[in-house]
């Protein structure tokens, strides 16, 4: 996979000795070359590198991170949006039985993926069932049957029938009667490339008969950016569609396929990364990019990036808290975690525009590492109800929380007191912040 090349570019950049501007320019050029080789669309590549250059010149890193590290964070952000942004696909069904119908051209990896998906859900405790409705390719029945045996999942089909809709209906009752709760329907894929219209038509015919909860389009990564048209039409044809991109392990063009599909705003749910049944992953753009950039080999950088993300989340929460004059225990939890990485609360509050002008009593808010550990454990042991409304925490709840978190009742009381203190402070801030805003500061 050519995208693997990015790891080297990143580590060269971080170790390089050239002046920052030159190193950035070299990085951008190498990045462009790599993405083009991975079949990413030229326009997308140019847009991406323009954003990276602009941000690299404009943005100032926070004090605890170097310019070089901040640059990698920019690349990480921008590449993540190229591959779909912050989306985390929802793979666990909201209802059962849940019917998934797979469509795709022959050879795309549809049958293999049907079994992979069944196996994926089985591992999470669901009871999947596989259905073969492919009446065109005699081997399809046998292939899915064998795969279902391998993973020990019920299977249904009818090699003698030539009516896919009839098979689908009968097998659906079979699966439901067998107490399965994720039903995966494999369909025929006799169409060639360019025959998308037929594919979409057939999809609609079978869909009418079985009323699926989700239709998954299987795309072979080796078609590269050609995936764009297919995904776009599919995406506009069905609101319940998602996409699986297969064979990412076997092609140089994976980057092209992923970015092209992401550009249509279709949801990529899974990626296939090998021939074996377990080689299926939920597609998370940020995780994917983290991996191709080799961030896993740079644990301190990852740590810093995580704390940046956490602190910007906290910033948002605190801004909201100050606007409403109320802070939740969940905010407090994040605050304690962030303090560990970034230092005292006053420093975090300074990140919020306007707030650096306000005096914060740091001494009063300072807590020891040991206490942070205890308090995090305490908050973790609270129920959702208690987190939302700490006022209901009475003596017996205090004792239960203490036992649950391996702390003492005094520890719990102390945390609640601290929480009160922060709340009072936030209330005061709301008043003063409102005043500052009125003054136009
Ligand atoms: P179908 O015609 O769409 O049902 O495709 P198949 O499931 O029969 O798969 C076609 C070929 O692609 C088979 O040889 C599979 O082993 C292979 N295949 C499917 N998914 C992957 C994948 O993620 N990686 C690799 N390397 N091969 C795959």
Among 259, 245, 215, 296, smallest CA distance to 40 is for: 259
Confidence class of residue 441 from pLDDT cuts 50, 70 and 90?
Answer: very low
CA distances from 319 to 322, 355, 435 (A): 5, 9, 15
- Taking the centre of ligand 1 as the mean of its atom positions, its distance from the CA of residue 188, in whole angstroms, is 14
Higher pLDDT, 49 or 423: 49
pTM over 0.90: no
Q: For position 135, what pLDDT does the model report?
A: 83
Pairwise CA distance, residues 351 & 349, whole Å = 5
For residue 204, is pLDDT > 50? yes
Higher pLDDT, 428 or 182: 182
37-63: average pLDDT: 91
Query: Rounded to an integer, what is the distance from CA 43 to the centroid of its chain?
Result: 25
Cβ < 6 A, ligand 1 pocket: 104, 106-112, 189, 246-247, 249-250, 272-275, 279
Token pair for 408? 């003492």
For residue 78, is pLDDT > 70? yes
CB 243 within 8 A of CB 231: yes
For residue 350, is pLDDT > 90? no
Q: Which atom of ligand 1 is nearest to the CA of 250?
A: 26
Pairwise CA distance, residues 38 & 83, whole Å = 13
407-436: average pLDDT: 82
Confidence class of residue 433 from pLDDT cuts 50, 70 and 90?
Answer: low
CA distances from 272 to 117, 151, 281, 291 (A): 10, 17, 7, 15
Confidence class of residue 325 from pLDDT cuts 50, 70 and 90?
Answer: confident
Residue to mutate, 269, 275, 279, 283, ligand 1, most ligand atoms under 8 Å from C-beta: 275
User: 83-116, pLDDT tens digit by residue?
Assistant: 998 888 889 998 989 999 998 888 899 999 999 9
ipTM: 0.99
Q: For position 357, what pLDDT does the model report?
A: 47
User: What's the mean per-residue pLDDT of the chain?
Assistant: 85
**CA angle centred on 103, ends 2 and 224, rounded to 5°:** 20
Higher pLDDT, 263 or 308: 263
CA distances from 387 to 381, 401, 419, 422 (A): 10, 12, 11, 15
Q: For position 430, what pLDDT does the model report?
A: 75
CB 167 within 8 A of CB 131: yes
- Taking the centre of ligand 1 as the mean of its atom positions, its distance from the CA of residue 209, in whole angstroms, is 27
User: 357-411, pLDDT tens digit by residue?
Assistant: 455 555 556 667 778 888 888 988 888 888 888 889 999 999 999 999 999 999 9
209-231: average pLDDT: 92
For residue 205, is pLDDT > 90? no
User: 235-282, pLDDT tens digit by residue?
Assistant: 888 888 899 999 998 888 999 999 999 999 899 999 999 999 999 999
Pairwise CA distance, residues 329 & 327, whole Å = 7
Q: For position 419, what pLDDT does the model report?
A: 87
CA torsion sign for 88, 94, 97, 100 is: negative
Q: For position 366, what pLDDT does the model report?
A: 64
325-352: average pLDDT: 67
Place of tokens 């995090």: 376
Q: For position 434, what pLDDT does the model report?
A: 67
Q: For position 220, what pLDDT does the model report?
A: 94
- Nearest CA owner, ligand 1 atom 27: 275
Q: For position 24, what pLDDT does the model report?
A: 94
Domains of the chain as residue ranges with CATH: 2-82 (1.20.120.140), 98-285 (3.40.50.300), 299-438 (1.10.260.30)
Pairwise CA distance, residues 70 & 305, whole Å = 9
- Taking the centre of ligand 1 as the mean of its atom positions, its distance from the CA of residue 106, in whole angstroms, is 10
Q: In a 3-state reduction of DSSP, which class is residue 89?
A: coil
For residue 82, is pLDDT > 80? yes
Q: For position 196, what pLDDT does the model report?
A: 62
- Taking the centre of ligand 1 as the mean of its atom positions, its distance from the CA of residue 322, in whole angstroms, is 54
Among 390, 365, 368, smallest CA distance to 379 is for: 390
For residue 36, is pLDDT > 70? yes
Q: Which atom of ligand 1 is nearest to the CA of 105?
A: 3
């Amino acid at each position: 996979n050519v995208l693997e090349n990015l790891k080297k570019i990143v580590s060269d950049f971080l170790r390089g000795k050239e002046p920052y501007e030159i190193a950035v320019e070299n990085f951008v050029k190498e990045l462009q070359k790599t993405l083009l080789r991975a079949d990413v669309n030229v326009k997308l590549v140019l847009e991406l590198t323009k954003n990276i250059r602009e941000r690299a010149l404009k943005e100032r890193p926070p004090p605890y991170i170097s310019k070089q590290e901040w640059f990698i964070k920019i690349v990480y952000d921008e590449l993540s949006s190229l591959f779909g942004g912050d989306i985390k696909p929802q793979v666990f069904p909201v209802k059962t039985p849940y019917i998934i119908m797979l469509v795709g051209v022959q050879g795309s990896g549809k049958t293999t993926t049907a079994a992979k998906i069944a196996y994926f859900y089985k591992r999470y405790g669901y009871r999947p069932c596989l259905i073969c409705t492919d009446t065109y390719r005699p081997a399809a029945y046998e292939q899915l049957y064998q795969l279902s045996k391998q993973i020990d999942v019920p299977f249904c089909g009818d090699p003698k029938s030539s009516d896919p809709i009839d098979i689908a209906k009968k097998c659906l009752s079979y699966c439901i009667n067998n107490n399965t709760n994720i039903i995966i329907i494999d369909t025929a894929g006799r169409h060639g490339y360019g025959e998308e219209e037929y594919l979409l038509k057939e999809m609609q015919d079978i869909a009418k008969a079985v009323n699926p909860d989700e239709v998954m389009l299987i795309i072979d990564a080796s078609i590269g950016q050609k995936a764009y048209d297919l995904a776009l039409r599919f995406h506009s044809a069905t609101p319940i569609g998602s996409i699986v991109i297969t064979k990412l392990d076997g092609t140089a063009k994976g980057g092209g396929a992923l970015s092209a599909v992401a550009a249509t705003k279709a949801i990529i749910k899974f990626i296939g990364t090998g021939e074996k049944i377990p080689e299926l992953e939920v597609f998370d753009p940020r995780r994917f990019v983290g991996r191709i950039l080799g961030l896993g080999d740079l644990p301190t950088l990852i740590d810093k990036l995580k704390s940046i993300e956490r602190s910007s989340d906290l910033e948002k929460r605190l801004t909201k808290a100050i606007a409403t004059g109320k802070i939740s225990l969940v905010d407090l939890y994040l605050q304690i975690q962030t303090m560990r990485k970034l230092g005292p609360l006053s420093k975090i509050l300074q990140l919020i525009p306007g707030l650096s002008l306000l005096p914060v009593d740091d001494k009063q808010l300072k807590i020891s590492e040991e206490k942070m550990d205890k308090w995090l454990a305490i908050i973790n042991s609270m129920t959702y109800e208690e987190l939302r409304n700490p006022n209901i925490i009475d003596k017996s709840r205090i004792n239960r929380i203490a036992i649950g978190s391996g702390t003492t009742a005094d520890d719990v009381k102390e945390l609640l007191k601290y929480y009160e203190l922060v709340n009072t402070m936030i209330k005061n801030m709301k008043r003063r912040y409102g005043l500052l805003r009125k003054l136009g500061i």
